[in-house]
Structure 1
Amino acid sequence: MSEKTLKKIWDVLAVFAIFNFIFLVVVYQNPDFKLNIGALGQYAGLLGQGYLYTIMISLVALILSLVFSGMLFGMSISKHKWLNYFYTCFTQVALGVPLMVHIIVLYFFLTSAIGIRDPLVGGTLILSLYMSCYFAKTFEGAYKDISPQQFRMMHILGLPRTICMTKIILPQIIKGTLPTLTSHFALLVKSTALLSLISVSEFTQIINLFNSRTLEFVTGYVLLAIGYLAITIPLSICANWLNKKVVQA
Protein backbone atom coordinates (compact mmCIF):
# COMPACT_ATOMS: atom_id res chain seq x y z
CA MET A 1 0.00 0.00 0.00
CA SER A 2 1.44 3.34 -1.05
CA GLU A 3 2.23 6.16 1.36
CA LYS A 4 -0.35 8.38 -0.36
CA THR A 5 -3.10 5.80 0.17
CA LEU A 6 -2.14 5.34 3.83
CA LYS A 7 -2.26 9.10 4.38
CA LYS A 8 -5.70 9.27 2.83
CA ILE A 9 -6.96 6.44 5.08
CA TRP A 10 -5.55 8.16 8.17
CA ASP A 11 -7.19 11.44 7.16
CA VAL A 12 -10.57 9.73 6.75
CA LEU A 13 -10.21 7.99 10.12
CA ALA A 14 -9.23 11.28 11.79
CA VAL A 15 -12.32 13.05 10.42
CA PHE A 16 -14.50 10.08 11.45
CA ALA A 17 -13.06 10.21 14.97
CA ILE A 18 -13.68 13.97 15.25
CA PHE A 19 -17.33 13.62 14.21
CA ASN A 20 -17.84 10.73 16.63
CA PHE A 21 -16.31 12.76 19.44
CA ILE A 22 -18.65 15.67 18.71
CA PHE A 23 -21.62 13.29 18.61
CA LEU A 24 -20.69 11.73 21.96
CA VAL A 25 -20.29 15.18 23.56
CA VAL A 26 -23.73 16.19 22.29
CA VAL A 27 -25.31 12.99 23.61
CA TYR A 28 -23.57 13.36 26.97
CA GLN A 29 -24.63 16.99 27.38
CA ASN A 30 -28.25 16.20 26.40
CA PRO A 31 -29.66 13.33 28.50
CA ASP A 32 -32.93 13.50 26.53
CA PHE A 33 -31.11 12.64 23.31
CA LYS A 34 -32.56 9.17 22.82
CA LEU A 35 -33.45 7.39 19.61
CA ASN A 36 -36.58 5.24 19.58
CA ILE A 37 -36.15 3.04 16.52
CA GLY A 38 -39.19 0.99 17.49
CA ALA A 39 -41.48 3.98 16.99
CA LEU A 40 -40.42 4.19 13.36
CA GLY A 41 -41.80 0.74 12.58
CA GLN A 42 -45.42 1.83 13.09
CA TYR A 43 -45.04 4.70 10.64
CA ALA A 44 -42.63 3.09 8.17
CA GLY A 45 -45.16 3.13 5.33
CA LEU A 46 -46.12 6.76 5.89
CA LEU A 47 -42.49 7.86 6.21
CA GLY A 48 -41.55 5.96 3.07
CA GLN A 49 -44.41 7.60 1.18
CA GLY A 50 -43.28 11.06 2.31
CA TYR A 51 -39.71 10.30 1.24
CA LEU A 52 -40.85 9.15 -2.20
CA TYR A 53 -42.95 12.33 -2.46
CA THR A 54 -39.84 14.41 -1.80
CA ILE A 55 -37.90 12.57 -4.50
CA MET A 56 -40.81 12.88 -6.94
CA ILE A 57 -41.25 16.61 -6.26
CA SER A 58 -37.50 17.14 -6.66
CA LEU A 59 -37.37 15.39 -10.04
CA VAL A 60 -40.45 17.17 -11.41
CA ALA A 61 -39.20 20.54 -10.10
CA LEU A 62 -35.79 19.87 -11.68
CA ILE A 63 -37.33 19.24 -15.10
CA LEU A 64 -39.56 22.31 -14.86
CA SER A 65 -36.66 24.42 -13.56
CA LEU A 66 -34.53 23.49 -16.56
CA VAL A 67 -37.38 24.36 -18.93
CA PHE A 68 -38.07 27.70 -17.24
CA SER A 69 -34.35 28.50 -16.94
CA GLY A 70 -33.89 27.84 -20.65
CA MET A 71 -36.63 30.37 -21.36
CA LEU A 72 -35.08 32.90 -18.98
CA PHE A 73 -31.63 32.38 -20.45
CA GLY A 74 -33.06 32.96 -23.91
CA MET A 75 -34.49 36.25 -22.64
CA SER A 76 -31.13 37.27 -21.17
CA ILE A 77 -29.33 36.95 -24.53
CA SER A 78 -32.22 38.15 -26.67
CA LYS A 79 -31.79 41.15 -28.95
CA HIS A 80 -35.14 42.49 -27.72
CA LYS A 81 -34.46 44.86 -24.83
CA TRP A 82 -37.85 44.32 -23.20
CA LEU A 83 -37.03 40.60 -22.80
CA ASN A 84 -33.69 41.55 -21.21
CA TYR A 85 -35.51 43.85 -18.79
CA PHE A 86 -38.08 41.17 -17.97
CA TYR A 87 -35.30 38.66 -17.23
CA THR A 88 -33.47 41.13 -15.00
CA CYS A 89 -36.60 42.14 -13.08
CA PHE A 90 -37.83 38.56 -12.67
CA THR A 91 -34.53 37.19 -11.37
CA GLN A 92 -33.92 40.19 -9.09
CA VAL A 93 -37.35 39.88 -7.47
CA ALA A 94 -37.21 36.08 -7.25
CA LEU A 95 -33.72 35.85 -5.76
CA GLY A 96 -34.15 38.96 -3.62
CA VAL A 97 -36.92 37.38 -1.53
CA PRO A 98 -36.50 34.20 0.58
CA LEU A 99 -38.11 31.08 -0.85
CA MET A 100 -40.22 30.69 2.29
CA VAL A 101 -41.87 34.07 1.60
CA HIS A 102 -42.42 33.14 -2.04
CA ILE A 103 -44.14 29.90 -1.08
CA ILE A 104 -46.48 31.52 1.44
CA VAL A 105 -47.34 34.64 -0.55
CA LEU A 106 -47.53 33.12 -4.04
CA TYR A 107 -49.47 30.03 -2.99
CA PHE A 108 -52.11 31.80 -0.91
CA PHE A 109 -52.52 34.73 -3.31
CA LEU A 110 -51.20 34.12 -6.83
CA THR A 111 -51.74 30.40 -7.50
CA SER A 112 -55.23 30.47 -5.97
CA ALA A 113 -56.04 33.49 -8.16
CA ILE A 114 -55.17 31.53 -11.33
CA GLY A 115 -57.12 28.46 -10.21
CA ILE A 116 -54.39 26.25 -8.73
CA ARG A 117 -55.80 24.90 -5.46
CA ASP A 118 -53.65 21.79 -5.04
CA PRO A 119 -50.72 22.62 -2.70
CA LEU A 120 -48.57 19.94 -4.37
CA VAL A 121 -49.00 21.47 -7.84
CA GLY A 122 -48.75 25.06 -6.61
CA GLY A 123 -45.74 24.39 -4.39
CA THR A 124 -43.86 22.49 -7.10
CA LEU A 125 -44.52 25.28 -9.59
CA ILE A 126 -43.30 27.97 -7.17
CA LEU A 127 -40.18 25.96 -6.30
CA SER A 128 -39.46 25.38 -10.00
CA LEU A 129 -39.76 29.06 -10.89
CA TYR A 130 -37.52 30.04 -7.98
CA MET A 131 -34.80 27.51 -8.78
CA SER A 132 -34.96 28.34 -12.49
CA CYS A 133 -33.42 31.72 -11.62
CA TYR A 134 -30.34 29.98 -10.19
CA PHE A 135 -30.04 27.79 -13.27
CA ALA A 136 -30.54 30.76 -15.63
CA LYS A 137 -27.89 32.81 -13.81
CA THR A 138 -25.51 29.86 -14.12
CA PHE A 139 -26.18 29.58 -17.86
CA GLU A 140 -25.74 33.33 -18.26
CA GLY A 141 -22.39 33.25 -16.45
CA ALA A 142 -21.13 30.39 -18.63
CA TYR A 143 -22.30 32.24 -21.76
CA LYS A 144 -20.39 35.37 -20.76
CA ASP A 145 -17.25 33.28 -20.18
CA ILE A 146 -17.13 32.27 -23.84
CA SER A 147 -14.34 34.23 -25.48
CA PRO A 148 -15.36 37.13 -27.77
CA GLN A 149 -13.04 35.68 -30.46
CA GLN A 150 -15.42 32.76 -30.93
CA PHE A 151 -18.34 35.09 -31.57
CA ARG A 152 -16.23 37.09 -34.04
CA MET A 153 -15.27 33.92 -35.92
CA MET A 154 -18.90 32.79 -36.07
CA HIS A 155 -19.85 36.21 -37.42
CA ILE A 156 -17.03 36.18 -40.00
CA LEU A 157 -17.97 32.69 -41.18
CA GLY A 158 -21.59 33.75 -41.45
CA LEU A 159 -22.89 30.78 -39.49
CA PRO A 160 -26.66 30.75 -38.80
CA ARG A 161 -27.59 31.68 -35.23
CA THR A 162 -29.30 28.31 -34.69
CA ILE A 163 -26.16 26.40 -35.69
CA CYS A 164 -23.99 28.63 -33.49
CA MET A 165 -26.19 28.00 -30.46
CA THR A 166 -26.71 24.24 -30.87
CA LYS A 167 -23.29 23.20 -32.16
CA ILE A 168 -20.87 25.66 -30.56
CA ILE A 169 -22.32 27.68 -27.67
CA LEU A 170 -24.66 25.23 -25.89
CA PRO A 171 -22.09 22.36 -25.67
CA GLN A 172 -19.65 24.74 -23.96
CA ILE A 173 -22.34 26.02 -21.58
CA ILE A 174 -23.43 22.50 -20.62
CA LYS A 175 -19.86 21.36 -20.10
CA GLY A 176 -19.04 24.36 -17.92
CA THR A 177 -22.20 24.28 -15.80
CA LEU A 178 -22.76 20.56 -15.06
CA PRO A 179 -20.98 20.57 -11.65
CA THR A 180 -22.80 23.75 -10.56
CA LEU A 181 -26.16 22.44 -11.79
CA THR A 182 -25.66 19.30 -9.71
CA SER A 183 -25.07 21.46 -6.63
CA HIS A 184 -28.19 23.47 -7.47
CA PHE A 185 -30.17 20.22 -7.62
CA ALA A 186 -29.01 19.41 -4.08
CA LEU A 187 -30.27 22.85 -3.03
CA LEU A 188 -33.57 22.13 -4.76
CA VAL A 189 -33.97 18.85 -2.85
CA LYS A 190 -33.39 20.60 0.48
CA SER A 191 -35.77 23.41 -0.48
CA THR A 192 -38.66 20.93 -0.80
CA ALA A 193 -38.78 20.95 3.01
CA LEU A 194 -40.33 24.43 2.86
CA LEU A 195 -43.36 23.03 1.03
CA SER A 196 -44.49 21.68 4.41
CA LEU A 197 -45.57 25.29 5.08
CA ILE A 198 -48.49 24.77 2.69
CA SER A 199 -49.22 21.21 3.89
CA VAL A 200 -47.59 19.30 1.05
CA SER A 201 -47.16 15.71 2.25
CA GLU A 202 -43.42 15.54 1.60
CA PHE A 203 -40.79 14.15 3.97
CA THR A 204 -40.58 17.11 6.37
CA GLN A 205 -44.36 17.31 6.71
CA ILE A 206 -44.58 13.57 7.44
CA ILE A 207 -41.77 13.85 10.00
CA ASN A 208 -43.67 16.68 11.71
CA LEU A 209 -46.74 14.44 11.77
CA PHE A 210 -44.67 11.60 13.22
CA ASN A 211 -43.26 13.91 15.90
CA SER A 212 -46.69 15.22 16.90
CA ARG A 213 -48.12 11.72 17.24
CA THR A 214 -45.22 10.01 19.01
CA LEU A 215 -43.45 12.98 20.69
CA GLU A 216 -40.19 11.34 19.55
CA PHE A 217 -38.73 14.59 18.25
CA VAL A 218 -35.11 13.48 18.41
CA THR A 219 -35.81 10.32 16.44
CA GLY A 220 -37.86 12.20 13.89
CA TYR A 221 -35.39 14.98 13.21
CA VAL A 222 -32.40 12.62 13.13
CA LEU A 223 -34.25 10.55 10.52
CA LEU A 224 -35.06 13.75 8.63
CA ALA A 225 -31.40 14.73 8.51
CA ILE A 226 -30.30 11.25 7.43
CA GLY A 227 -32.98 11.19 4.73
CA TYR A 228 -31.79 14.41 3.12
CA LEU A 229 -28.13 13.46 3.48
CA ALA A 230 -28.86 10.20 1.65
CA ILE A 231 -29.79 12.32 -1.36
CA THR A 232 -27.45 15.31 -1.10
CA ILE A 233 -24.19 13.48 -0.32
CA PRO A 234 -24.28 11.38 -3.54
CA LEU A 235 -25.14 14.57 -5.44
CA SER A 236 -22.14 16.32 -3.86
CA ILE A 237 -19.87 13.41 -4.81
CA CYS A 238 -21.29 13.55 -8.33
CA ALA A 239 -20.64 17.30 -8.52
CA ASN A 240 -17.00 16.82 -7.45
CA TRP A 241 -16.55 14.02 -9.99
CA LEU A 242 -18.04 16.15 -12.77
CA ASN A 243 -15.84 19.07 -11.77
CA LYS A 244 -12.72 16.92 -12.11
CA LYS A 245 -13.89 15.62 -15.48
CA VAL A 246 -14.51 19.17 -16.70
CA VAL A 247 -11.08 20.33 -15.51
CA GLN A 248 -9.35 17.37 -17.17
CA ALA A 249 -11.27 17.76 -20.45
Structure 2
Amino acid sequence: MPQKIIDLSARVDAAAWEANPVEHRVLSPAEGARHMADGMREHYGVDFDPSVLPDGELLSLDTLTLTTHTGTHVDAPSHYGTRADYGVPRHIDQMPLEWFLGPGVLLDVSDEPVGAVGADRLAERFERIGHAPGPGEIVLVRTGADALAGTPAYFTDFTGLSGAAVDLLLDLGVRVIGIDAFSLDAPFGHMIAEFRRTGDRGVLWPAHFAGRRREYCQIENLAHLDELPAPTGFTVSCLPVKIAGAGAGWTRAVALLDG
Protein backbone atom coordinates (compact mmCIF):
# COMPACT_ATOMS: atom_id res chain seq x y z
CA MET A 1 0.00 0.00 0.00
CA PRO A 2 1.42 3.47 -0.84
CA GLN A 3 2.69 5.40 2.13
CA LYS A 4 2.77 9.09 2.92
CA ILE A 5 6.11 10.30 4.25
CA ILE A 6 6.31 13.17 6.74
CA ASP A 7 9.78 14.63 7.16
CA LEU A 8 10.57 14.99 10.87
CA SER A 9 14.12 16.25 10.34
CA ALA A 10 15.66 19.68 10.76
CA ARG A 11 17.78 21.23 8.03
CA VAL A 12 21.55 21.45 8.51
CA ASP A 13 22.23 25.02 7.42
CA ALA A 14 25.56 26.80 7.79
CA ALA A 15 23.74 30.14 7.43
CA ALA A 16 21.58 29.52 10.51
CA TRP A 17 22.60 30.43 14.06
CA GLU A 18 24.14 27.49 15.92
CA ALA A 19 25.86 27.31 19.29
CA ASN A 20 28.50 25.24 17.49
CA PRO A 21 28.65 26.90 14.04
CA VAL A 22 28.53 24.77 10.91
CA GLU A 23 31.16 25.30 8.22
CA HIS A 24 30.09 24.34 4.70
CA ARG A 25 32.71 24.48 1.96
CA VAL A 26 31.70 23.81 -1.65
CA LEU A 27 33.79 22.91 -4.66
CA SER A 28 31.83 23.84 -7.78
CA PRO A 29 31.54 21.26 -10.60
CA ALA A 30 34.37 23.07 -12.45
CA GLU A 31 36.54 23.11 -9.31
CA GLY A 32 35.61 19.46 -8.77
CA ALA A 33 36.88 18.61 -12.25
CA ARG A 34 40.24 20.22 -11.55
CA HIS A 35 40.38 18.59 -8.12
CA MET A 36 39.76 15.17 -9.70
CA ALA A 37 42.41 15.76 -12.38
CA ASP A 38 44.96 16.85 -9.76
CA GLY A 39 44.19 13.80 -7.65
CA MET A 40 44.51 11.39 -10.59
CA ARG A 41 47.88 12.90 -11.45
CA GLU A 42 49.18 12.90 -7.87
CA HIS A 43 47.95 9.49 -6.73
CA TYR A 44 47.79 7.42 -9.91
CA GLY A 45 50.14 9.12 -12.38
CA VAL A 46 47.29 9.64 -14.84
CA ASP A 47 47.12 12.88 -16.82
CA PHE A 48 43.66 14.13 -17.70
CA ASP A 49 42.58 17.48 -19.10
CA PRO A 50 39.21 18.46 -17.55
CA SER A 51 38.54 20.94 -20.35
CA VAL A 52 37.26 18.05 -22.49
CA LEU A 53 34.31 17.62 -20.11
CA PRO A 54 30.97 19.40 -20.75
CA ASP A 55 31.56 23.03 -19.73
CA GLY A 56 34.78 21.85 -18.10
CA GLU A 57 32.69 20.52 -15.22
CA LEU A 58 32.59 17.17 -13.44
CA LEU A 59 31.11 16.90 -9.94
CA SER A 60 30.63 19.29 -7.05
CA LEU A 61 32.05 18.38 -3.65
CA ASP A 62 30.73 19.52 -0.27
CA THR A 63 32.83 19.46 2.90
CA LEU A 64 31.11 20.17 6.22
CA THR A 65 32.54 20.73 9.67
CA LEU A 66 29.93 20.16 12.38
CA THR A 67 29.26 18.14 15.50
CA THR A 68 27.29 14.90 15.53
CA HIS A 69 24.76 16.82 17.64
CA THR A 70 23.99 19.33 14.91
CA GLY A 71 20.67 18.89 13.18
CA THR A 72 18.41 15.91 13.84
CA HIS A 73 20.50 13.22 15.48
CA VAL A 74 20.36 10.14 17.69
CA ASP A 75 22.31 10.13 20.96
CA ALA A 76 23.98 6.83 21.79
CA PRO A 77 24.45 5.57 25.38
CA SER A 78 28.16 6.47 25.20
CA HIS A 79 27.13 10.13 24.96
CA TYR A 80 25.88 10.01 28.55
CA GLY A 81 29.18 8.94 30.12
CA THR A 82 32.02 6.41 30.08
CA ARG A 83 30.40 4.13 32.65
CA ALA A 84 26.91 2.74 33.13
CA ASP A 85 25.16 0.49 35.61
CA TYR A 86 24.44 -1.99 32.80
CA GLY A 87 28.05 -2.22 31.53
CA VAL A 88 30.11 -0.40 28.94
CA PRO A 89 27.90 2.14 27.10
CA ARG A 90 27.59 1.41 23.40
CA HIS A 91 28.51 3.81 20.60
CA ILE A 92 26.06 4.73 17.84
CA ASP A 93 27.52 2.23 15.35
CA GLN A 94 26.93 -0.57 17.87
CA MET A 95 23.23 0.03 18.44
CA PRO A 96 20.70 -2.45 16.97
CA LEU A 97 18.92 -1.01 13.95
CA GLU A 98 15.66 -2.56 15.14
CA TRP A 99 15.48 0.14 17.81
CA PHE A 100 15.11 2.86 15.19
CA LEU A 101 12.20 1.59 13.11
CA GLY A 102 8.90 1.10 14.87
CA PRO A 103 5.45 2.39 15.77
CA GLY A 104 5.42 6.02 16.83
CA VAL A 105 3.58 7.69 19.70
CA LEU A 106 3.21 11.47 19.74
CA LEU A 107 2.97 13.24 23.10
CA ASP A 108 2.09 16.92 22.76
CA VAL A 109 3.41 19.07 25.61
CA SER A 110 3.50 22.32 23.62
CA ASP A 111 1.32 24.02 26.23
CA GLU A 112 3.94 23.49 28.96
CA PRO A 113 6.20 26.36 30.12
CA VAL A 114 9.99 26.47 29.79
CA GLY A 115 11.44 23.83 32.10
CA ALA A 116 10.94 20.10 32.45
CA VAL A 117 7.73 18.09 32.12
CA GLY A 118 7.16 15.70 35.02
CA ALA A 119 6.00 12.10 34.99
CA ASP A 120 2.53 13.10 36.16
CA ARG A 121 2.08 15.36 33.13
CA LEU A 122 3.14 12.56 30.78
CA ALA A 123 0.66 10.22 32.44
CA GLU A 124 -2.04 12.79 31.74
CA ARG A 125 -1.05 12.76 28.08
CA PHE A 126 -1.35 8.96 27.97
CA GLU A 127 -4.86 9.28 29.32
CA ARG A 128 -5.72 12.05 26.88
CA ILE A 129 -4.68 10.05 23.80
CA GLY A 130 -5.96 6.73 25.20
CA HIS A 131 -2.63 5.00 24.76
CA ALA A 132 0.41 4.30 26.93
CA PRO A 133 3.64 3.66 24.98
CA GLY A 134 5.07 0.16 25.11
CA PRO A 135 8.12 -1.90 24.08
CA GLY A 136 9.32 -1.23 20.54
CA GLU A 137 7.41 2.04 20.24
CA ILE A 138 9.26 5.29 19.56
CA VAL A 139 7.97 8.22 21.60
CA LEU A 140 8.08 11.69 20.02
CA VAL A 141 7.64 14.68 22.35
CA ARG A 142 6.23 17.78 20.66
CA THR A 143 7.13 21.03 22.42
CA GLY A 144 6.83 23.41 19.45
CA ALA A 145 10.43 24.53 19.95
CA ASP A 146 11.33 23.75 16.33
CA ALA A 147 9.64 27.05 15.40
CA LEU A 148 12.67 28.75 17.01
CA ALA A 149 15.30 26.68 15.17
CA GLY A 150 18.13 28.76 13.75
CA THR A 151 17.90 31.39 16.49
CA PRO A 152 19.55 31.74 19.93
CA ALA A 153 16.12 31.27 21.57
CA TYR A 154 16.09 27.66 20.31
CA PHE A 155 18.76 26.89 22.91
CA THR A 156 17.08 28.68 25.82
CA ASP A 157 13.29 28.68 25.42
CA PHE A 158 11.98 25.13 25.36
CA THR A 159 10.53 22.35 27.46
CA GLY A 160 12.37 19.11 28.24
CA LEU A 161 11.59 16.03 30.30
CA SER A 162 12.39 15.44 33.95
CA GLY A 163 14.35 12.40 35.01
CA ALA A 164 11.15 10.89 36.43
CA ALA A 165 9.37 11.38 33.10
CA VAL A 166 12.18 9.57 31.27
CA ASP A 167 12.09 6.75 33.83
CA LEU A 168 8.34 6.42 33.34
CA LEU A 169 8.83 5.87 29.60
CA LEU A 170 11.70 3.43 30.17
CA ASP A 171 9.60 1.53 32.72
CA LEU A 172 7.02 1.01 29.95
CA GLY A 173 9.68 -0.55 27.71
CA VAL A 174 10.43 2.46 25.48
CA ARG A 175 14.05 2.54 24.25
CA VAL A 176 14.01 5.56 21.92
CA ILE A 177 12.63 8.98 22.94
CA GLY A 178 12.62 11.94 20.55
CA ILE A 179 11.98 15.65 20.99
CA ASP A 180 11.67 18.68 18.69
CA ALA A 181 13.87 20.77 21.01
CA PHE A 182 17.61 21.30 21.41
CA SER A 183 17.75 18.82 24.30
CA LEU A 184 15.65 16.22 26.05
CA ASP A 185 16.64 18.00 29.26
CA ALA A 186 15.43 21.45 30.31
CA PRO A 187 17.45 24.47 29.09
CA PHE A 188 20.85 25.01 30.72
CA GLY A 189 19.78 28.19 32.49
CA HIS A 190 16.70 26.55 33.99
CA MET A 191 18.63 23.55 35.34
CA ILE A 192 21.42 25.64 36.81
CA ALA A 193 18.94 28.01 38.46
CA GLU A 194 17.17 25.01 40.01
CA PHE A 195 20.48 23.60 41.22
CA ARG A 196 21.43 26.90 42.85
CA ARG A 197 18.01 27.15 44.45
CA THR A 198 17.89 23.58 45.79
CA GLY A 199 21.48 22.33 45.88
CA ASP A 200 20.14 19.10 44.35
CA ARG A 201 22.57 17.70 41.75
CA GLY A 202 19.77 15.51 40.46
CA VAL A 203 18.25 18.47 38.60
CA LEU A 204 21.32 18.70 36.35
CA TRP A 205 20.80 16.85 33.04
CA PRO A 206 18.59 14.13 34.59
CA ALA A 207 17.18 12.97 31.24
CA HIS A 208 20.65 12.37 29.83
CA PHE A 209 22.06 10.88 33.01
CA ALA A 210 19.16 8.40 33.11
CA GLY A 211 21.14 6.76 30.29
CA ARG A 212 23.92 5.94 32.75
CA ARG A 213 21.47 3.79 34.70
CA ARG A 214 19.40 2.36 31.84
CA GLU A 215 20.31 1.90 28.20
CA TYR A 216 18.29 4.04 25.84
CA CYS A 217 18.67 6.53 22.99
CA GLN A 218 17.38 10.04 22.38
CA ILE A 219 16.50 11.78 19.13
CA GLU A 220 17.04 15.52 19.43
CA ASN A 221 16.28 18.44 17.09
CA LEU A 222 13.26 16.84 15.46
CA ALA A 223 10.91 19.04 13.43
CA HIS A 224 7.39 19.19 12.00
CA LEU A 225 5.80 17.03 14.68
CA ASP A 226 2.72 19.24 14.29
CA GLU A 227 2.19 17.64 10.86
CA LEU A 228 1.47 14.22 12.35
CA PRO A 229 -2.29 13.69 11.97
CA ALA A 230 -2.80 11.61 15.12
CA PRO A 231 -0.93 10.54 18.27
CA THR A 232 -0.59 6.97 16.96
CA GLY A 233 -1.02 5.06 13.72
CA PHE A 234 2.32 5.89 12.10
CA THR A 235 5.76 4.31 11.85
CA VAL A 236 8.96 6.17 12.72
CA SER A 237 12.21 5.58 10.86
CA CYS A 238 15.23 7.25 12.48
CA LEU A 239 18.17 5.08 11.45
CA PRO A 240 21.39 6.79 12.63
CA VAL A 241 24.46 7.27 10.45
CA LYS A 242 27.04 4.59 11.25
CA ILE A 243 29.97 6.55 12.70
CA ALA A 244 32.57 4.33 14.37
CA GLY A 245 33.09 5.12 18.04
CA ALA A 246 30.71 8.10 18.06
CA GLY A 247 28.33 9.20 20.80
CA ALA A 248 25.71 10.27 18.25
CA GLY A 249 24.81 10.00 14.59
CA TRP A 250 22.73 12.16 12.28
CA THR A 251 19.40 10.79 11.07
CA ARG A 252 16.86 11.72 8.40
CA ALA A 253 13.92 10.94 10.67
CA VAL A 254 10.57 10.43 8.99
CA ALA A 255 7.07 9.24 9.83
CA LEU A 256 5.46 6.72 7.50
CA LEU A 257 1.67 6.73 7.20
CA ASP A 258 -0.45 4.32 5.23
CA GLY A 259 -1.86 6.02 2.15
TM-score range, shorter chain: under 0.3
Normalised to the residue count of structure 1, the TM-score between the two structures is 0.24
Select the structure of larger CA radius of gyration.
1
Structure with the bigger percentage of strand: 2
Give the TM-score normalised by structure 2: 0.23
